Amino acid sequence: MKTFIFSILLVTSCRAFAQTPIDLKTLIGKPREVAEQQLTAWNIPVTPSTDDTGLWVGYDEGIQIKFKKDIITTIWIEFTDRRSGAFPFVVDAVVTPNVDIRNVVKVLGNPSETEEGFTIGDKTSGWVKWITKAYQLHCQVSDSEIYMVTLMEPDWYPGKD
């Protein structure tokens, strides 16, 4: 009986303290304070940019989060070590550092848009984008690996401020 009660307490404690998996896509369109709480829960520290009042940066700008009127509009995630101290962020369970774009397509399906002349799986550079009701997921690819991700509002278009 003691073992049974201990097992129940252990399972309950693990559930109570389990960290939610990172899913940066869920922050698009959220108020600043909600995003700040979620980033803290994910242990992703960000600070206000010294150059832009509508921008948070983290891990020497391995992640940048833009907001307008206190709503998160864009998130940039860099999977390279081009910047000193850049952290290898994950976007979610699928889009992670060094992921092969073909594996992402297997899960998300064919992209909504692809750079002209770029073929998924080629050893060339290019970009692909998925547009959903909640966000746009734009991935820059080199040698079939994603190295930069931009998450945007679903109604974003080039030139939109």
Question: In sequence order, what are the residues at sequence separation of 6 or more whose Cβ sits closer than 8 angstroms to the Cβ of residue 63?
Answer: 44, 46, 57, 75, 76, 77, 78, 87, 89
User: Domain-by-domain residue ranges, the chain?
Assistant: 22-152
Question: In sequence order, what are the residues at sequence separation of 6 or more whose Cβ sits closer than 8 angstroms to the Cβ of residue 128?
Answer: 101, 105, 111, 113, 114, 115, 118, 120, 138, 139, 141
Determine the Cα angle at 86 with ends 121 and 124, to 5°.
20
Sheet bearing 145-152, strands edge to edge: 47-48, 55-58, 63-68, 71-78, 145-152, 136-142, 126-131, 113-114
pTM given for the model: 0.80
pLDDT tens digits for range 41-68: 988 888 888 888 888 888 666 788 999 9
pLDDT tens digits for range 134-146: 999 999 999 888 8
AA identity, residue 140: Q
pLDDT tens digits for range 61-84: 678 899 999 999 999 988 876 555
d(CA 130, CA 93): 16
| Cβ–Cβ under 8 Å, residues 56 and 65 | yes
Beta bridge partners of 31: 71
DSSP three-state, residue 130: strand
